[in-house]
């Protein structure tokens, strides 16, 4: 089998006889196992995890009710549910479960983060960066199911320590016996078959915690979450999207997309070329010109995805982007959340932006109604507030020359306006799904540009597409 890394050999290392010194490899394995946690793979075990979480939160609420009543206070249910202690329980349990449950929690932390108290948003934000990985024996079983019993013979080196662990899978660096340096993404067991039940159970938990306004129909969002997560869990589909984006960006050497290795790719394992790089948000302390260039590339790519490709990687997680200081390339890593947009949808956004840049408020309103930002029964005061938020979002596009994300408090203004508008639960509406995913991607890139304190000429980027 050739030279195999110590961590990989540890999978097959037998226990040392009593009285003998413990081999170094066994010590390494024990240290590794302490950081690992098996993924609950059956529907029953995953339901039990969430059921236990709900009971624990209910116990916290009951204890707090008793305490407040004893102090002569009148408790409010939303204050009892949305506490740092309960948020920590939710984040920890979803991180242990991984799969669709953790993915939904990540989306909540991104979409609702600005509407929650900072201490709660920070706790839920951990879901975007913290995940356990599989113990070695569970990893071995998953790979045997995917590749057969003699899969080890294909590799000269297989590092069992994952280089990344996320909600649906973990990534390992390997070298095959024919010399390929690859990144292997391995899906956690049971993820695909538990998606529907996970989403239903987390949605129920959200309702119980008061994160869903009363009267709001979240059924379309739940159905869409299930559909997208089933797509993300299909690694062969992601491999096709990976190849498609590689071809679409073949004329742009500033970007690098890993190459698909189809011979090792299955529905639960994705094999692609390994690319070196640092997290893109590490550039926060890089020279101004370098930050400006990278964000100009990334923002330009969004508009090209919408108006030219009509195909977008809609997950705004910063971990999906890396940067090579040696080559200056931006590397695009995750295509599980790739979404196609209809041509008429892109045309509506063109109309919206044209009207906004021209200061045409009636034109903006008409396009916003067609897209679904506004509804025909939206009260005048709420419609006015929404249009004003849209006007704020256009400020960077209207400016001649570079917009300084680091010097602007626009993000704070929009957050405060959004929080004020969100208090009116009576007319809360979930926008069409295409719009929701597009806005999430725009919002994530805006957050990254603000963190990098970049200066970008947005008008010069968008005008060729209009």
Q: Distance of alpha carbon 308 from its chain centroid, rounded?
A: 24
Residue 285 DSSP class: G
Region of 99 on the Ramachandran plot (φ > 0 left; ψ -120 to 50 alpha; else beta): left
Let me know: does 245 contact 335? Beta carbons within 8 Å.
Answer: yes
Cα(226)–Cα(222) distance, integer angstroms: 6
Inter-residue contact 452 to 287 (CB < 8 Å)? no
User: Rg for the chain (alpha carbons), in Å?
Assistant: 24
456 neighbors 402 (Cβ within 8 angstroms)? yes
Distance from C-alpha of 236 to C-alpha of 16, rounded to nearest angstrom:
41
Would residue 424 show up in a list of annotated catalytic residues for this protein? no
Going by C-beta distance under 8 Å and a sequence separation of 6 or more, which residues neighbour residue 383? 365, 374
Indicate which residue of 315, 334, 347, 360 is catalytic: 315
Buried b / exposed e over 327-337, threshold 16 CB at 10 Å, is eebbbbbbbbb
Q: Is residue 233 within 8 Å of 192, Cβ to Cβ?
A: yes
Contacts of 207 (CB under 8 A, 6+ apart): none
Which are the catalytic amino acids? 315
């Amino acid at each position: 089998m050739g030279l195999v890394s110590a961590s990989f050999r540890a999978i097959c290392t037998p226990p040392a006889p009593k009285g003998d010194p413990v081999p170094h490899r066994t010590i390494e394995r024990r240290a590794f196992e302490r950081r690992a946690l098996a993924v609950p793979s059956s529907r029953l075990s995953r339901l039990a995890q969430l059921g236990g979480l709900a009971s624990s939160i209910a116990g916290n609420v009951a204890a707090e009710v008793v305490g407040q009543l004893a102090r002569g206070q009148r408790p409010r249910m939303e204050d009892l549910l949305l506490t740092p202690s309960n948020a920590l329980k939710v984040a920890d349990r979803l991180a242990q479960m991984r799969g669709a449950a953790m993915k939904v929690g990540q989306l909540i932390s991104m979409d609702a983060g600005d509407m929650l108290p900072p201490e709660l948003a920070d706790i839920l934000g951990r879901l975007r960066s913290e995940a356990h990985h599989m113990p070695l024996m569970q990893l071995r079983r998953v790979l045997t199911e995917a590749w057969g019993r003699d899969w080890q013979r294909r590799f000269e080196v297989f590092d069992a320590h994952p280089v990344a662990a996320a909600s649906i899978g973990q990534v390992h660096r390997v070298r095959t016996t024919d010399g390929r340096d690859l990144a292997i993404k391995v899906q956690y067991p049971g993820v695909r078959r538990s998606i529907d039940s996970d989403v239903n159970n987390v949605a129920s938990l959200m309702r119980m915690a008061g994160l869903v306004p009363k009267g709001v129909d979240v059924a379309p969002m739940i159905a869409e979450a299930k559909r997208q997560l089933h797509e993300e869990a299909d690694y062969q589909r992601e491999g096709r999207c990976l190849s498609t984006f590689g071809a679409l960006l073949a004329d742009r050497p500033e970007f690098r997309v890993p190459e698909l290795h189809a011979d090792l790719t299955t529905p639960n394992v994705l094999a692609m070329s390994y690319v070196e790089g640092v997290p893109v948000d590490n550039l926060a302390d890089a020279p101004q010109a370098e930050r400006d260039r990278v964000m100009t590339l990334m923002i330009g790519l969004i508009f090209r995805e919408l108006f030219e490709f009509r195909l977008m990687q809609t997950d705004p997680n910063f971990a999906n982007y890396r940067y090579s200081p040696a080559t200056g390339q931006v590397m695009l890593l995750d295509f599980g959340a790739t979404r196609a947009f209809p041509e008429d949808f892109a045309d509506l956004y063109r109309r919206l932006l044209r009207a906004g840049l021209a200061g045409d408020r009636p034109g903006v309103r008409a396009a916003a109604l067609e897209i679904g930002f506004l509804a025909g029964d939206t009260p005048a005061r709420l419609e006015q507030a929404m249009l004003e938020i849209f006007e704020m979002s256009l400020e960077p596009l209207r400016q001649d020359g570079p917009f300084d994300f680091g010097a602007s408090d626009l993000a704070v203004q929009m957050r405060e306006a959004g929080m004020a508008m969100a208090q009116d639960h009576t007319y809360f509406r979930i926008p069409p799904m295409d719009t929701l995913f597009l806005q999430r991607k725009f919002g994530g890139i805006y957050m990254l540009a603000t963190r990098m304190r970049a200066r970008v000429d947005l008008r010069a980027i968008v005008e060729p597409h209009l």
